[in-house]
Amino acid sequence: MRKLSSIVFVIAIIGISIFSFFSKKDSNESTELTIYAYDSFVSEWGPGPAIFSAFEEKYGIKISVISAGDAGQVLQKAIIEKDNPRADLLIGIDNNLLAKALSEDIFEPYKSKNLNKIPEELLFDNTNNLTPFDYGYFSIIYDSEKISNPPASLMDLLKPEYKNSIILMDPRTSSPGLGFLLWTIAEYGEGFADYWEKLMPSVLTITDGWDSGYGLFTEGEAPMVLSYTTSPAYHAEYEENYRYRTAIFLSGHYMQIEGIGIVKNSKNRKNAELFIDFILEDTIQNIIPLTNWMYPVNTHLELPESFMYAPKPKTTLIIDSKKIDRQLVGWIEEWTSAVTN
Q: What is the pLDDT of residues 41-73, one digit of tens each?
A: 999 999 999 999 999 999 999 999 999 878 888
In a domain, 239, yes or no: yes
Total number of domains in the chain: 2
pLDDT of residue 4: 38
Q: Domain range holding 144?
A: 138-255+310-340
What CA–CA distance (Å, rounded) separates 107 from 76? 13
Beta strands in the chain (DSSP E): 32-37, 62-67, 89-94, 107-108, 131-143, 166-169, 203-207, 224-228, 244-247, 253-263, 295-296, 316-317
Same-domain pairing of 321 and 331: yes
With bands split at pLDDT 50, 70 and 90, how would you rate the model's confidence at 90?
A: very high
pLDDT tens for each residue of 152-202? 999 999 999 999 999 999 998 888 999 999 999 999 999 999 999 999 999
Strand partners, 316: 253
Predicted local distance difference test score (pLDDT) of residue 29 = 65
Question: Do 189 and 324 belong to one domain?
Answer: yes
pLDDT of amino acid 72: 83
On whether both 175 and 36 belong to a single domain, the answer is no
- Identify the weakest region by mean pLDDT among 45-49, 100-104, 123-127, 173-177: 173-177
What pLDDT was estimated at residue 276? 98
pTM beyond 0.75: the answer is yes
Interatomic CA distance for residues 289 and 175, integer angstroms: 19
Instruction: Answer yes or no: do 73 and 94 share one domain.
Output: yes
Q: Residue 216 is part of a domain; what is its CATH number?
A: 3.40.190.10
The string of DSSP codes covering 167-178 is EEE-TTT-HHHH
Residue 166: C-alpha distances to residues 51, 92, 141, 179, 245 (Å): 35, 26, 9, 16, 14
